[in-house]
Homo-oligomer: A and B are copies of this chain.
C-alpha cells in the first residue's frame, strides 16, 4: 500500500502505540508502505519528536542488521497527578460506604478509560525494571493486571482461590486471609508462569497483605522473583503487612457514623519525576 508521508506517519504511529516494548524492524514498514528505509527513518524521527514533546512515550532506535525501533509509553507527572486527583475525589464520595465500613470501588476497575489510566500510572512507575509478567488474584484484581500488562506488553497470570479443572495441574500455597485470620489456599496453573520470571504483583485493595504475601510465596514455588507490588488503593486502617508496595490512593479513614471517607494520594507519586 502506497501512502503519502503524512498518512504513513499516522499508520506507523498507530502500529507503535499498539506494540509497546516490542522491537519492530524498519523493513516491516518499508515493505508494507512501499517506501525507502531512509524515508521510514525520517518518519520515525518526526513521530519520535511528537511523542516525546507530548509525553506519549519514547522511541529508541537500535541499529544493526537485527535492529529497529522500540516504543516505550510514558506519562508526565502532571498528567498522572491530574488523573489521581480525580480518582481521589471520586473515592471520597460518601455513597461508597458499605455496611461494615467497606468501600465500593468496583466501578473504577470496570471503565476502560479509567482502567487504562490506572494501568499507565503503575506501568510508568515500574518502566525501568525488567518485568516478564504481571500477577494478580481473582476476581477484582484481574482488570487491573490486564491494564498494567497491556501497557508493559507482557502476559498476566491469575491466581485463583478455587480449583478449576480447566487450569490443568496447579501449585497451591496457604495464606492468611486478612478478613478472618483463617488459613486458606490459593492456586496457580503450572503452565501459566515460566521459571525465572520477574513478576510485578498487583491488586485492587491492600488491607492486611495476606493475599499479596500468598502470591509472593507462590513466586518461590515457580522459581520466579518479585519485581514489585502495586495496588490501586491501600487502607491505612489495616496492617498492610507487605514489605514494599506502591499505591495510587490511600484511604486514611472510613467514618461510618459521619458517612465520610478520607482519601489521600498514595506513595506511588513520591518518586515520580
Contact = CB atoms under 8 A, between A and B. Distances in A.
A165 B99 CA distance: 9
Contact of A53 (B3, B47, B140): B3
Nearest to A5: B6
Interface string A98-110: 1010111111001
B105 A166 contact: yes
A115 interface: yes
A47 B4 CA distance: 11
A49 interface: yes
- Report, as a range, how many residues of chain A touch the other chain: 35 or more
A77 interface: no
B56 A100 contact: no
Interface in A153-197: 153-158, 160, 164-168, 189, 191-192
A157 B5 CA distance: 42
Interface string A14-46: 100111000000000000000000000000001
A104 B1 contact: no
A213 interface: no
A113 interface: yes
B10 A47 contact: yes
A142 interface: yes
Contact of A18 (B8, B103, B111, B116): B116
A178 to B, nearest CB: 12
A62 B47 CA distance: 28
Contacts of A139: 138-139, 142, 158, 160
Nearest to A22: B113
A166 B6 contact: no
Contacts of A110: 149, 155-158, 192
Contacts of A150: 112, 116
A252 interface: no
A72 interface: no
Interface in A217-260: none
A143 interface: yes
B112 A46 contact: no
B6 A6 contact: yes
Contacts of A138: 138-139
Given A6-B6, A7-B50, 7 more contacts: A3-B54, A11-B54, A14-B56, A106-B191, A110-B157, A138-B138, A146-B147
